[in-house]
Structure 1
Amino acid sequence: MSHETYIVHMDLSAMPTVFSSHHNWFSATLESITTTSTTVTSSKLVYSYTNAINGFTALLSPSELEFIKNTPGYLYAIKDTTVELDTTHSIQFLGLSSKAGAWPVGSYGKDVIIGVVDTGIWPESESFNDVGMSSVPSKWKGECEDGFQFNSSLCNKKLIGARYFNKGLLSNHPNLTLSMNSARDTDGHGTHTSSTATGGCVKGASYFGYGTGTAIGVAPHARVAMYKAVWEEGPGLRTLHNGTPWVLTVAASTIDREFTGMLTLGNGVSVMGLTLYPENSSLSQVLMSFVGACHKDFDSKEVYRKIVVCFDSNNTLLDQYYNVEGRNVSGAIFITNSTDVELFMQSSYPVLFVDLDSGNTVMDYLKKVNNGKAKASMKFHGTRLGTKPAPRVASYSSRGPSNSCPVVLKPDITAPGSLILAAWPDSLSPAVYIKNDLGTGFKKLYSKFNILSGTSMSCPHASGVAALLKTAHPNWTPSAIRSAMMTTSDIQDNTFKPIQDIGDYNNPSTPLAMGSGHVAPNRALNPGLIYDINPQDYVNLLCGLNYTKIQIQAITRSSNVNCSNPSLDINYPSFIAYFQINNTSTNKVIREFKRTVTYVGVGRSMFMAKVTTVGGLNVSVSPEKLSFRSMNEKKSYKLRIEGSYTMEDEVVYGYLSWMDSKRKFVVRSPIVATSLPMTGLTF
């Protein structure tokens, strides 16, 4: 008799008083099958549950299942099926798992409150459902503010705070009429970012069929407090360039997932292309027309109701895409190696973007078929996982150094930011498609989820990881959490080669693009050593940067400003050295840094320094060994960079790693040396 795994939901209120726990009750229920059956049973308790559900998982035959259905407390049973991959696949790409690591150790971010300053929130989104969450922590002192189409009752145990701030905006523009004077999101950005950081589990999520599965945030048990301070009618997004040393600055990178469509040529050969065309349609055996340089003028009659093939040879994809959109075509194939394909994937007409290799396959077919006879079919809504190499730093991700604080290497780290699927207000249309034969009318499509790219998507991933670390280490300071994330990050992709930079022709990424590396939540739980920073250290840095006392008071909110020890060297988990050259320079230039590390391991440990080559510079560490006897012990060291004033390369980099004798810990920091000027930067 065949057996299958079932998830059985039970009513705990029906548990007899003779049982000391639900687990004993479920076990006894299964054991009773043996005593009442004349046949040998193989029923087996797999799991018992009291958190997400009340019940158990067991291996049952059909007759055993029927027996269970007649036992006291039985509610219903469902057959255990293969779990769908997370729609926010970045969760899996980060290595987060319910079995071990940052999720269970960090209690999924339980009771950590993540504050989000953004465009507001859509409280009705399922990602902010509070089912199963405990009461709001007593430490919470915030509020849920009433506003236009936003009642305070919309907050719950998940969305515990929502406020909106626009008095500054209105004072500058007194005649401005706000479309939504409340914390409600009319842009979608805030809903997307907050659900990425802390969204709860939502099954059946997708973007018009792309990435179908279960959506979940990085810290799903954390709370969210939304502060709407970005308005469609005010300053635009992406106007803040963040180099502040006391915050975490996050670059954006790809994950190992692509959204695809399939082009099947008339000879039966198929090639895959990138797309996010939303409409639920496909094209079958449509005539093809090769145009080539589609940004130039061409005869619309020649491409009428055909699949146009365009070749992007001079980085003219923008002009080509919109030029074709204005013609009445059935679809388009863009052969391109552009780094900006993501910007056009959510197209309004059927489009596939294929690389040069696949493009050659298409061109070979077109050359072999008589003119006017070539045909092809297009299908959409594909999702491909496990793509390589990944991660890669996105082309749009901002590079360092920072104008505001060039002596601190920025960004700090990179995290998933490309094509991230997360919650979306269902009143906003995230996509349109051309709906009439004239090619001029557009139809809006609606979805509860949307796919966006940007550092705005990578930041909430890092915030969620920080929430997990805060739960696991409640006494750690923000700088300790940042340090743990930076020094345990990955500098290799899933092919075990250096992470590439799409914006630099897929060359190995420098720390000016990816910071210390790609965040690795599970390793960050136990970093071995941390670089901690106290408030006075930041004040010393501001003093060294020649901030006035009044300016520092505005930042610190304290009238007691002590600038007796100004310094441009702060206890940061990274290094950047400038080699500005002038006519009085000697043959050698020396830069020195002092760092103090805190041991966060258990028992005695010895760490040894290892430095990779940094261009042609001479880098040394003193001392080369650090010995620790107990947790929280601190030790200091100096890093010295010696170079020639004739430094040939504009930027060189390497790494300092502190490794313990048992090789349990590798505490890595990037080292950048540059001949760029410290001021007047244009990055």
Structure 2
Amino acid sequence: MSFPTQMKDNHTALLLVFMSLLISLVNIENYLLTAVDAKSNVYIIHMGKKQREDAKLLKKTHHEVLAKVLGSKEESARAMVYSYKHGFSGFAAKMTESQAQKISELPGVALVIPNELYKVQTTRSWDYLQLSSRYQTHFLQKSKLGEDVIIGLFDTGIWPESEAFSDKAGSSVADRSYNGLGVGTVRGGATQARIAMYKVCWSVFGGGLCAGADILKAFDVSVRDGVEVVSVSIAADVPSYPEADQRNAIAVGAFHAVAKGVAVVCAAGNSGPSPQTVQNTSPWILTVGASSDDRSFPTRVKLGNNWTIAGQAMFTGSDTGFIKLAYPEVSDLKYPCDCKSLTEEDTWAKKTVVLCFTTAFREGSVEESASSIRKAGALGLIVAENPTRSLYVCDDDFPCVQVSYDIGMKILYYIRSSRSPKVRISPTKTHDGRPVSTKLAYFSSRGPSYVAPGVLKPDIAAPGVNILSAVSPSDPKANSAFAFMSGTSMAAPHVSGIVALLKSLHPDWSPAAIKSAIVTTAWNTDPSGELIFAEGEPMKLADPFDFGGGIVNFNRAADPGLVYDMGTEDYLHYLCAMGYNNSAISQLREHPTSCPTKRPSVLDLNLPSITIPSLTKPTKLTRTVRNVGHANSSYKAVVKPPQGIRISVRPRLLTFNATNNTISFTVAVSSTHRVTTGYYFGSLTWTDGVHTVNSPISVRTEIPILS
């Protein structure tokens, strides 16, 4: 995990929940059975609204229902995997398909669904976010570093023996690095918060897989344990099930948790840079994309003609000295030879540094090529690719240096024009700060949401590239206590830590109010004021579908001025607006629910953003803000309309006082475009001269062809 938040052991009442608990939800034997036994599988049974609150009586009821189909209490006990008693009523059990059909026909059973699988998706990042001892702001001190706030982590687990979780090191672990790279103090963002670790994922079948039954149990137990923030570094494959579908364990579990006041923070997924790949898109979830920070790892590469370039790598071996440099030339009639085609049979590479080109980023692909070419006797690899800040982690003494395509072509020209091309690679260094710029990570999943295009996703971005993280000795790639990791699973815990700080500062704020504060106060430029670019093909200026509101900024989120708040009733209106039927919504809510006759509009959901995926005619939408700043204050609207879009706000001045802290306003939107367009972006900002409450606007004009 990349979130080394400390625990204290002087509050015994809360320690029942934390690291010593380390819930291993489904044992691995049972889990594997669900994947390999064609006759038996795990099914999740939803019982509808809880008829009683007593957890023991609920569990007894669940066993009785299961026994009716399996024939005995003993068989029921053997088959039962989980009993869900806190967030909702239901259970998970092993049974055959025919038994699942029989149990679905019993009175009191609302729904039976098969278990689903999901996938698992630091020393500088907190300085970058201005949340460290160097930035002792008033709000950071007032938050008491998240003291006693409970953060629930859903992931592959933690290694409790790690010094990142040891009170002997206080609230931080100084002078830690990955083999000398990234030296600094490893710490969390909310160092006085508590961790409740829920192991929902297992390293099986060549990767980290997580079962829906486990995820639902984690949500259920976390509500019982008093968790206030849930951090989920997990996402389904695209496309996933809609949020009203009980097979979407994250959306369903999060819905019940948020209804109990628990903030749920989820990774956006690692399927970027293609659009409409973002996951965990429910409006009650805070969805996090991944950015880089201002750290880089320059690696000096000197050619035999004395030309020196700075590549990027994590090479901690010795200076190579000048050695042979080669490129795998192929006939024009053959398929181009790129990095992934290198094998251990390429004996020509012996005692050589190999230059190769790669056209697509795929996690592990270059590392696999490096391992193969090393077995053939190669001494290093130079990879020419579309620029990305995500670095390949090859063996420590085997350099895998990344350069851009244009630099790669210059190296290739040198190889082809020299009788004896040589290269010298020096050990990698660490550089923090300027001139390194912030970028949205290539892999970070992008919007718009394919489930609900009118709901902006991701909501926010945070550092998730080359994060120095504590690792378990059981990790096959681990050769030290810390390693660099990348992914939206690294970004989400950063935001979870900030949510914990906000919970400590504002314990009465709802999850929606916290999300609003984070989205409307984010950095649209990096902390040094430079524009943020999104890695991709090609690289471009980042927009709301890349990073939502921007890069998370705690010091402004702590005092946002205004918030856009929502609760369960708002989310029910959203589900009705999405067209889900009453039965599906009732099953999710576990209470009979009927949508209004006139279908509401998704555009009126009280989000801290405005997204119109199909503007076919002039449209009006409504938002409501609550003043959480000085009681007597006035806010003026500042509109930056998207290109070709007219926007008017009424009223343009919001005046609050001690008896009136909530005001609604309308936004009228129309287009001057005469053709169907892509998305254009703008913003609506409310300001009182001290606070700036910024809502990103995304609008796509659509001119119907058929009337």
What's the TM-score, normalizing by structure 1?
A: 0.67
User: Aligned partners of 2:451 and 2:368: how far apart in 1?
Assistant: 37
Q: Deviations over 1:250-289 (max 9, x none)?
A: 1111111112322233455432211124x63331221223
Aligned residues of 1:600 and 1:632 also touching (Cα < 8 A): no
User: Aligned partners of 1:269 and 1:622: how far apart in 2?
Assistant: 62
| Equivalent position of 2:295 in the other structure | 257
Offset at residue 375 of structure 1 (A):
2.9
| Equivalent position of 1:331 in the other structure | 380
Aligned pair 1:413/2:413, yes or no?
Answer: no
2:503 aligned partner, one-letter code:
K
1:491 aligned partner, one-letter code:
N
User: Aligned partners of 1:225 and 1:219: how far apart in 2?
Assistant: 14
User: Aligned partners of 2:505 and 2:432: how far apart in 1?
Assistant: 30
User: Aligned partners of 2:491 and 2:182: how far apart in 1?
Assistant: 18
User: Aligned partners of 1:313 and 1:560: how far apart in 2?
Assistant: 51
| Equivalent position of 1:371 in the other structure | 419
The alignment partner of 1:249 has SS state of strand
The match for 1:640 among 668, 678, 693 is 668
User: Aligned partners of 1:628 and 1:109: how far apart in 2?
Assistant: 30
User: Can you give the 5+ residue segments of structure 2 that lack an aligned partner in the other structure?
Assistant: 1-121, 212-233, 238-278, 330-335
1:232 aligned partner, one-letter code:
S
Aligned residues of 1:206 and 1:213 also touching (Cα < 8 A): yes
* Identical amino acids, percent of aligned pairs: 34
- Structure 1 residues 320 and 448, CA, compared in 2 at 3 Å: closer, same or farther? closer
Give runs of aligned pairs for residues 100-499 of structure 1, distance below 5 A: 100-131=137-168, 200-233=171-204, 234-235=209-210, 238-239=235-236, 241-266=279-304, 268-277=306-315, 280-291=317-328, 294-295=337-338, 300=346, 302-312=348-358, 325-326=372-373, 327-339=376-388, 342=390, 344-346=392-394, 349-356=398-405, 358-359=407-408, 362=411, 366=415, 370-372=418-420, 374-388=421-435, 390-430=437-477, 446-493=479-526, 496-499=529-532
Aligned residues of 1:659 and 1:665 also touching (Cα < 8 A): yes
| Equivalent position of 1:35 in the other structure | none
2:280 aligned partner, one-letter code:
N
| Equivalent position of 2:587 in the other structure | 554
Offset at residue 649 of structure 1 (A):
2.3
Aligned pair 1:664/2:690, yes or no?
Answer: yes
Offset at residue 317 of structure 1 (A):
11
Offset at residue 460 of structure 1 (A):
0.7
The alignment partner of 1:332 has SS state of strand
| Equivalent position of 2:621 in the other structure | 593
User: Aligned partners of 2:195 and 2:660: how far apart in 1?
Assistant: 31
Offset at residue 608 of structure 1 (A):
0.8
- Structure 1 residues 124 and 315, CA, compared in 2 at 3 Å: closer, same or farther? closer
The match for 1:521 among 554, 557, 561 is 554
Aligned residues of 1:125 and 1:425 also touching (Cα < 8 A): yes
| Equivalent position of 1:627 in the other structure | 655
What's the TM-score, normalizing by structure 2?
A: 0.65
Aligned residues of 1:539 and 1:563 also touching (Cα < 8 A): no
- Structure 1 residues 343 and 537, CA, compared in 2 at 3 Å: closer, same or farther? same
Offset at residue 497 of structure 1 (A):
4.1
Bigger shift: 302-311 or 116-125? 302-311
| Equivalent position of 2:126 in the other structure | 91
Aligned residues of 1:274 and 1:345 also touching (Cα < 8 A): no
| Equivalent position of 2:276 in the other structure | none
User: Aligned partners of 1:671 and 1:386: how far apart in 2?
Assistant: 31
Aligned residues of 1:429 and 1:447 also touching (Cα < 8 A): no
Question: When the two structures are aligned, how many residues end up with a matched partner?
Answer: 499
Offset at residue 244 of structure 1 (A):
0.8
Aligned residues of 1:408 and 1:576 also touching (Cα < 8 A): yes
User: Aligned partners of 1:463 and 1:319: how far apart in 2?
Assistant: 31
Aligned pair 1:545/2:578, yes or no?
Answer: yes
- Structure 1 residues 201 and 88, CA, compared in 2 at 3 Å: closer, same or farther? same
Aligned residues of 1:599 and 1:630 also touching (Cα < 8 A): no
1:408 aligned partner, one-letter code:
V
Q: Which has the larger radius of gyration?
A: 1
- Structure 1 residues 532 and 504, CA, compared in 2 at 3 Å: closer, same or farther? farther
User: Aligned partners of 2:482 and 2:365: how far apart in 1?
Assistant: 29
1:385 aligned partner, one-letter code:
D
User: Aligned partners of 2:428 and 2:387: how far apart in 1?
Assistant: 22
RMSD: 3.1
- Structure 1 residues 228 and 300, CA, compared in 2 at 3 Å: closer, same or farther? closer
Offset at residue 405 of structure 1 (A):
3.0
